[in-house]
């Protein structure tokens, strides 16, 4: 952590240190598409005059081999990708791999002639609410912009661009705007703890509620995108809800217990093959709080790790498991505790 110099307060020194350390690793990602009204379809290849800039975002250098991390939605539909570094140098990049479920993508440039500085990566388990964070990116096309704030919340589950959710995400009040997508969220040590991806706003401008994909997911997905061009998630095949003590009398469950209720078991999935059970429909006195099914299995732990919410199941599966792994679920069923082994499959598209 930076220490104050003469005449510079502590917070200023920290932010100046973060910017000096990380900004050389941050790039402006420019996306071009073929202008079909100009391009002669009978010619092979794409002429530069036939390209239109249609969007962009941010990214950061992952390694000295030229791999750069950004968002999947930043490069979606690109016919050509350009990256621009903080020193003004530019390069053409190719898309190496994308993962729509985590909204992550890897692009790559030829590293010859570039002084690439890979970012340092932090530890999601060290992230706490209230920690100082900074974001560097290209909001509205203004390159190399630094904003700062705090971690507003952790463990958020946010929607992805597919039908699956992104668990364990970081909420921040550091100003995040269009163009920041794909850029790093950084702790005060200058380590990347997330990839800025979403804002909640009525007018697509910062409203103090931004979200970053956690580094724990990034570190699992990115190496696979580099090696295979894709990433395969483990899949259990349940829909669920978090048990509330308010529902204890209706559901016949001890109010002191915590866990994830299995309210739906998809057919022909690992959960179905392992015999997990969802309950029967009933009319709850607390709709919206209590699940609409009664008699569901209650998952209280996964591989010995306590489960307090349905999100805890999603987080564990995403962070610690792969397809074909077997997990042991501790399950309360009809007042009896059981251990249920589930062999996970690959998540269907």
Which H or E run includes 22?
Answer: helix 10-22
Q: Which of 181, 234, 278, 330 is catalytic?
A: 181
- In three-state secondary structure terms, 332 is strand
Q: Is 103 a catalytic residue?
A: yes
Q: Is 148 a catalytic residue?
A: no
Q: Which of 7, 137, 125 is nearest to 59 (CA)?
A: 137
Q: Is 73 a catalytic residue?
A: yes
Q: Which of 67, 73, 152, 173 is catalytic?
A: 73
Q: Which of 50, 99, 101, 103 is catalytic?
A: 103
The DSSP code for 297 is -
Is there a contact between 162 and 197 (Cβ–Cβ < 8 Å)? no
Non-local (6+) Cβ contacts of 119 within 8 A are: 22, 25, 60, 61, 62, 184, 191, 192
CA distances from 111 to 106, 118, 137 (A): 15, 12, 21
C-alpha–C-alpha distance, residues 230 and 259, integer Å: 32
C-alpha–C-alpha distance, residues 162 and 127, integer Å: 27
- Residues 59-74, buried b or exposed e (16+ Cβ, 10 A)? bbbbbeebbbbbbbbb
Q: Which of 146, 116, 307, 321 is nearest to 216 (CA)?
A: 321
Give the distance from CA 226 to its chain's centroid: 17
What is the DSSP track for 162-194? SSSEEEEEEEE-S---TT-TTPEEEETTSEEEE
Is there a contact between 169 and 212 (Cβ–Cβ < 8 Å)? yes
For the annotated catalytic residues, the residue numbers are 73, 103, 181
């Amino acid at each position: 952590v930076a220490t104050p110099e003469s005449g510079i307060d502590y917070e200023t020194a920290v932010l100046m240190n973060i910017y000096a350390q990380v900004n050389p690793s941050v790039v402006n990602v420019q996306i071009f598409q073929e202008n079909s009204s100009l391009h002669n379809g009978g010619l092979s290849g794409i002429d530069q005059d036939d390209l239109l800039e249609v969007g962009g975002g941010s990214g950061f250098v992952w390694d000295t081999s030229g791999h750069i991390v950004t968002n999947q939605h930043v490069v979606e539909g690109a016919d050509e990708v350009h990256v621009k570094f903080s020193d003004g140098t530019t390069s053409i990049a190719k898309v190496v791999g994308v993962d729509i479920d985590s909204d992550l993508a890897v692009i790559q440039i030829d590293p010859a002639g570039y002084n690439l500085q890979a970012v340092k990566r932090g530890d999601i388990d060290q992230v706490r609410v209230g920690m100082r964070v900074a974001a560097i990116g290209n909001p509205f096309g203004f390159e190399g912009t630094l904003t700062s704030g705090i971690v507003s919340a952790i463990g958020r589950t946010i929607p992805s661009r597919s039908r699956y959710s992104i668990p364990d995400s970081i909420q921040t009040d550091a100003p995040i705007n269009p163009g920041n997508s794909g850029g790093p969220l950084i702790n005060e040590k200058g380590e990347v703890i997330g990839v800025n991806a979403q804002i909640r706003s009525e007018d697509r401008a910062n409203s103090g509620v931004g979200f970053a994909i956690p580094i724990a997911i990034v570190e699992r997905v990115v190496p696979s995108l580099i090696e295979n061009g894709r990433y395969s998630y483990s899949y259990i095949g349940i829909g669920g809800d978090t048990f509330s003590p308010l529902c204890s009398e209706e559901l016949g469950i001890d109010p002191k217990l915590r866990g994830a209720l299995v309210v739906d078991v998809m057919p022909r999935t690992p959960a179905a093959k392992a015999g997990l059970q969802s309950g029967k429909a009933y009319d709850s006195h607390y709709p919206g709080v209590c699940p609409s099914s009664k008699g569901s299995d209650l998952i209280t732990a996964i591989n010995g790790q306590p489960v307090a919410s349905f999100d805890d199941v999603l987080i564990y599966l995403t962070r610690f498991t792969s397809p074909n792994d077997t997990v042991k679920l501790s399950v309360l069923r009809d007042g009896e505790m059981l251990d249920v082994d589930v062999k996970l499959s690959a998540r269907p598209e």
